[in-house]
Structure 1
């Protein structure tokens, strides 16, 4: 490092003697205040222009100018106003405010200003010491422009009369150098020195006074300083010649010393001064007053002019000044006066709270900041002295921050744990500074630290699996459902975009479209229940962070059936050119099974529940058809006059809300000589009917009784389960219904695939289906009915040769139904 000095241009204009004196002072300062580690000292005059260069800090500290900006260098002051600033671009230390040495340091011989140069990353502090030198910017000023003296004419020659000296705030050669008295015959001016080394004026009588010759003398006194150019002040002395007063007041002590606590209440007694005058009457009456008392001290200390008691008149602050030296004058009624010195020591008390100054603060910190990241830099100090000036700085223990201090009175607030914005987005950190005084004083300051969000939370769907139901044949663009994902982050990190996952099958992904902003799903094609009853897609929610995070949910779409398929007649085969004929024996009794209309519906559930009804016949009341079985039976025995060829038109209707239907034309031939098959005969005899009816009643009564007992047992069981009285077994031990009642694919007594495996529908059993003579396979094809039409044409009931006398059964190919050949 090097030490920089700034010199006044005015110094070049000094005379040879003043210049030599200045250089001697400069050399002594240079030797006394050389460069020390971590400190740079500059000597500069007061009253420099704003923006003037004091010195180049970067050069003097041996640093590069670019380093000042990189480390956020700045100049700070402790307890004093900021009078200089750092130009980081050039590294120069500049004057930022007017510097008045007299205002800053009053009459102190050395005026030192202390500043700190702070650099961060890493934190370093350098001491900047500014030594302010005096210039001749003040003229001598007398306390009173008019000085009045009353002298008795008997005053002896050589008698001295103390005068109040002129006051010049400047120092050294710039202070008062000499006084000049206007030419006169009676008086001369001489300088005297007090015990403390201060000079004061005395007016000396050189020629006897003669009141009768001249009752009043008017003199002019000039105070001249030693500056260049010279400044001076003038006062008038009015001397009134009186009769004899030959004794002056005399103080009991030349110097009085006293002490008082700062902040003492008004009226507190500091000291009592005493001066006596041997004269009598008016000449012996002494009055006390302060000499050269500044306006500031005039409001703090007062003296009783009659008793000489010095008391507190206003707030006394140790931090403003620890000692006050006052000149006291005692004056008698004849105008004669004497002086003494009053030294008052101020005793410091703990009356200043610690000061917390935020030098650098970051209002925001990222939640992924590493422990030790600096958030704020604080300067904490106390204007008191001793224990009262020692400060301890603390924060609460329940926050992930701590204080680190590497430089005296400077504290760095750094992170001391993991930050999570989702757990706590903001911290109000209470900083408490406490001094060691008795009683101690504290200062509290709250720092608000906002935790900035990072993208550390993926969007989360409210459900991992969504189920949606939609009717088939809905128009494109129909709303299906809405998926929703929530992201605990904020801002762009929480902005969610929805899309169908690429993991979804390409064929299935084309079924739906999604609103990328709202998550609403819409159809993009027509659905056909008969082609597909269920499909599954995956939806991805991606946030707007960098890098983005995502999550996926599954959407199950179930297609509901609509009654959009007309029943298809499988048997008898309906062709435009030929209709197969069914042969029935002439001897067939009532209730004899002639044939069966077999029809299927590609729909499911209620929509596939078929009903059969004869709408046209060659002879009415000759044949009847089962409402739900489609079995055509005889109503009565045949007669000779019945036609041998009969035609019956059967209407097949489904059970949809808007039912659809088709017709089947059945051609029946009544043949002689054909055997009557008992297994095709429904009504054997009346006794059999009665036996069946009795059996049905017994079975019904037993079933009702069983259900009643089961209901009572279930109610009792569930009440005990609620109170935990009964052991609850696993589902493996629960009763299982036989497949005859409800097989895994649901009971389909028609066995023709009209009831598909779908837990969204109930099972239905058609009346009388259990007595049909036609049985169909239980392996219902639930995948598709795309090729049924061709299968039906290929596997329908066909008429055999004319001499066929019996009915035979053979299995249809791909279709699960058995057909008559």
Structure 2
């Protein structure tokens, strides 16, 4: 701006005094950024700034799909991005003086970030000055005292006007000094005071002006002016220096004596910010700190110190203060992009977050290092300057860790170093990558036979370490067969794993079976696993004992003969029985229910052997009828009864009458039946049929008896197929467990048996009247070769 001096009329002297005011103007250099736009200050909201899409080579659709947005470091955002048009517009009022003060060129920077994929662009907007501020003097009136002996050409420093707009003219060192030069000598006796108007005009179009009144008082002679020791003082001070710290001290000398030689110091003209930070002692010239310095706000200050004497003489020196940086700013972390959820099947290298880091300190104090937790499957990578990406570094597994807390720590390289940190919570979304697992490798379940259909047998359980629908387990019965029958006709499996019996089981038909159950989750595609289930049918006492020997037949009567000379413990016979149940349900016990003489015989409780317990006497009846009860050990127990006929005699004649008694009733019944048939045959058309039937029955019985008579073999007990005592708990001891089959001509085969002493066997046929045939028989193959016991059989 241009300063004019108006001449005021002096009423005492008439013509005005000519004073020249010099203004030194200097210019500041400008700087530029990467992508640069220029916009005047004070533009209306919505004003066009630049076509960002065209200048960055981007399509408008890319700005929309990439969710383009502006990221600024500060709290204010002066421009806005219109993604649908690809342009930048003014968002709020921009005041260049508020933004940059005296700094020129004035600009601010921001980043444009796009996602999918992530792209960053840096944009710089220069704010050009508009002449919107009027020059203003610190005081509307300035008072000067000038000694009358002042020589023409003497300069007097004046307070300059301050314009917040950019000044286009300045001194080479950047300062702006206004001085008043005396043109003609003063004469206090003529003019003691002078009044001037100082006009400050800026360089705008149209220009703006400001005025100040100058009052000049002419003093009496003082012909020596103060002289500063240095024209320029330089000092350094740390930005964290406390208030009251002495930065430097200026000095000046005056050759005058007394009051005229006393020098006082003051700031000639200092910027508003500098006035708040520094003060000068008027007597000592010490410059002290009065506020908080901030290197990041201003790196240097220039102070103009005025050294004045009481006579109005003065000298000016400059003090340049350099502010040195200290590490007083922690790094700032700004989260640019972050997804709080990531799929557990994300590949290594997947970007999780993007951050921006900056430190307002300078040089080494502003250099930073970023790090994250070492125990996490993530790493940090640097992209653009100041930007870092958090990416996956390993395979993720939600079932092992479902959530991660990623702590990002930023540390600068200052001494001492400062750091900042931020924690990101990252959740893993589930993927169906785990099949259901049963709590056992296989299952065994028990069910008691004769169960009711639909009975719940057992429950299988499988768990899936996935989450939600992927962990929902259902159970399916795998197709298979048991003894040629589909397993689904035996059991069923509900969706919650409960196994039910479809039918009633019979232990004697099926003792166990197994099948597979599949556990399937609800994922897509579903995963499954199988397990084998074995069902064991438990026995119930639902079968009574079966007597195998002695055989109870309807056509003939079997009797055992005991000689009167038999010793105590003589083996009369052995009752053999079996029970198709198992376990204790098949444990059999024997006892006598009814006997003619209980003192003569006893039956073994476990083996069923009937033995004598004393010597036979003449008083003992020849015919003995024993009823043996066979009971199992079930709860409740079941039993069977067998009749054993015993004859006590030493010779055949003694027993003939007894045999007659045994069969008398039967012969009578047979003859009666025969006569009734004959009578009915006479009066009935069916006579011939009845005769044929009777003859056939008689021939069948005769053949059966003849086969037994001529086989020369004892009666052999019948055992069911595969009957054996594997556990040692059945009725027969191991020595009696056998299967034997012989034909009527087996004597002629190569199978030979040892002969024992001959035994008497009496056979009486009902068809013969009183005749008796004696047959020599062999010793029973059931006995051991060296057994001293003999068994006598009577067939009637």
1:651 aligns with 629
Alignment of 1:321-720 (within 5 A): 321-333=298-310, 339-349=316-326, 352-394=329-371, 400-422=377-399, 431=408, 433=410, 449-474=426-451, 480-502=457-479, 507-514=486-493, 516-517=495-496, 519=497, 521-569=499-547, 581-585=557-561, 598-616=576-594, 624-630=602-608, 642=621, 648-664=626-642
The worse-fitting range, judged by mean Cα deviation, of 112-121 and 802-811 is: 802-811
Q: Is the 8 A contact 1:622 1:634 kept in 2?
A: yes
2:749 aligns with none
Q: Is the 8 A contact 1:609 1:754 kept in 2?
A: no
1:99 aligns with 94
Q: Is the 8 A contact 1:586 1:674 kept in 2?
A: no
Give per-residue Cα distances to partners, 1:665-687, cap 9 Å, x unaligned.
5677899976999xxxxxxxxxx
Q: Is the 8 A contact 2:480 2:486 kept in 1?
A: no
The alpha-carbon distance between structure 1 residues 582 and 393, as it changes in their structure 2 partners (threshold 3 A), is same
SS in 2 for 1:343: strand
SS in 1 for 2:274: helix
The alpha-carbon distance between structure 1 residues 282 and 492, as it changes in their structure 2 partners (threshold 3 A), is farther
1:722 aligns with none
What CA distance in whole angstroms lies between the structure 2 residues aligned with 1:307 and 1:757? 128
SS in 1 for 2:584: helix
Q: Is the 8 A contact 1:623 1:633 kept in 2?
A: yes
SS in 2 for 1:360: strand
Aligned counterpart in structure 2 of residue 56 of structure 1, from 51, 67, 71: 51
What CA distance in whole angstroms lies between the structure 2 residues aligned with 1:332 and 1:430? 65
Q: Is the 8 A contact 1:614 1:651 kept in 2?
A: yes
What CA distance in whole angstroms lies between the structure 2 residues aligned with 1:221 and 1:580? 164
1:738 aligns with none
SS in 2 for 1:260: strand
Q: Report the CA distance between 1:83 and its aligned residue.
A: 3.5
Q: Report the CA distance between 1:535 and its aligned residue.
A: 1.5
Q: Is the 8 A contact 1:461 1:484 kept in 2?
A: yes
1:309 aligns with 286
Q: Report the CA distance between 1:502 and its aligned residue.
A: 3.9
The worse-fitting range, judged by mean Cα deviation, of 661-670 and 558-567 is: 661-670
Q: Is the 8 A contact 2:584 2:633 kept in 1?
A: yes
What CA distance in whole angstroms lies between the structure 2 residues aligned with 1:503 and 1:145? 110
Q: Report the CA distance between 1:269 and its aligned residue.
A: 3.9
1:272 aligns with 249
Q: Report the CA distance between 1:111 and its aligned residue.
A: 0.9
Q: Is the 8 A contact 1:610 1:653 kept in 2?
A: yes
Q: Report the CA distance between 1:603 and its aligned residue.
A: 1.5
Q: Report the CA distance between 1:530 and its aligned residue.
A: 2.2
2:739 aligns with 777
Q: Is the 8 A contact 2:548 2:577 kept in 1?
A: yes
The alpha-carbon distance between structure 1 residues 259 and 665, as it changes in their structure 2 partners (threshold 3 A), is same
Q: Is the 8 A contact 2:562 2:572 kept in 1?
A: no
The alpha-carbon distance between structure 1 residues 291 and 752, as it changes in their structure 2 partners (threshold 3 A), is farther
- 2:164 equivalent to 1:169: yes
Q: Is the 8 A contact 1:428 1:447 kept in 2?
A: yes
Q: Is the 8 A contact 2:307 2:316 kept in 1?
A: yes
Q: Is the 8 A contact 1:68 1:119 kept in 2?
A: yes
Q: Report the CA distance between 1:374 and its aligned residue.
A: 1.9
SS in 1 for 2:55: helix
The alpha-carbon distance between structure 1 residues 459 and 778, as it changes in their structure 2 partners (threshold 3 A), is farther
SS in 2 for 1:369: coil
What CA distance in whole angstroms lies between the structure 1 residues aligned with 2:653 and 2:132? 151
The number of residue pairs the alignment matches comes to 664
Q: Report the CA distance between 1:606 and its aligned residue.
A: 0.9
The alpha-carbon distance between structure 1 residues 757 and 631, as it changes in their structure 2 partners (threshold 3 A), is closer
Give per-residue Cα distances to partners, 1:131-151, cap 9 Å, x unaligned.
101224434333235545556
What CA distance in whole angstroms lies between the structure 2 residues aligned with 1:810 and 1:820? 18
Unaligned residue ranges in structure 2 (runs of 5+): 1-26, 656-716, 742-762, 768-772, 783-792
Unaligned residue ranges in structure 1 (runs of 5+): 1-24, 176-191, 678-748, 780-798, 812-818
What CA distance in whole angstroms lies between the structure 1 residues aligned with 2:122 and 2:647? 128
TM-score by length of 2: 0.68
The alpha-carbon distance between structure 1 residues 56 and 504, as it changes in their structure 2 partners (threshold 3 A), is farther
The worse-fitting range, judged by mean Cα deviation, of 580-589 and 541-550 is: 580-589
The alpha-carbon distance between structure 1 residues 196 and 363, as it changes in their structure 2 partners (threshold 3 A), is closer
What CA distance in whole angstroms lies between the structure 1 residues aligned with 2:765 and 2:145? 172
The alpha-carbon distance between structure 1 residues 405 and 607, as it changes in their structure 2 partners (threshold 3 A), is same
2:21 aligns with none
Q: Is the 8 A contact 1:262 1:316 kept in 2?
A: yes
TM-score by length of 1: 0.66
1:694 aligns with none
Alignment of 1:192-341 (within 5 A): 198=176, 200=178, 202=180, 225=202, 249-277=226-254, 281-282=258-259, 284-294=261-271, 296-333=273-310, 339-341=316-318
What CA distance in whole angstroms lies between the structure 2 residues aligned with 1:229 and 1:194? 27
Q: Is the 8 A contact 2:268 2:305 kept in 1?
A: yes
Q: Report the CA distance between 1:655 and its aligned residue.
A: 0.5
What CA distance in whole angstroms lies between the structure 1 residues aligned with 2:70 and 2:262? 59
- 2:167 equivalent to 1:138: no
Give per-residue Cα distances to partners, 1:185-219, cap 9 Å, x unaligned.
xxxxxxx989857352649899989899998x988
SS in 1 for 2:486: helix
- 2:103 equivalent to 1:108: yes
What CA distance in whole angstroms lies between the structure 1 residues aligned with 2:538 and 2:116? 69
1:76 aligns with 71
SS in 2 for 1:407: coil
1:88 aligns with 83
What CA distance in whole angstroms lies between the structure 1 residues aligned with 2:251 and 2:548? 143
Give per-residue Cα distances to partners, 1:593-632, cap 9 Å, x unaligned.
7766554323211111122333345776676544344455
Q: Computing the radius of gyration over CA atoms, which structure comes out larger, 1 or 2?
A: 2
What CA distance in whole angstroms lies between the structure 1 residues aligned with 2:179 and 2:794? 153
What CA distance in whole angstroms lies between the structure 1 residues aligned with 2:233 and 2:352? 55
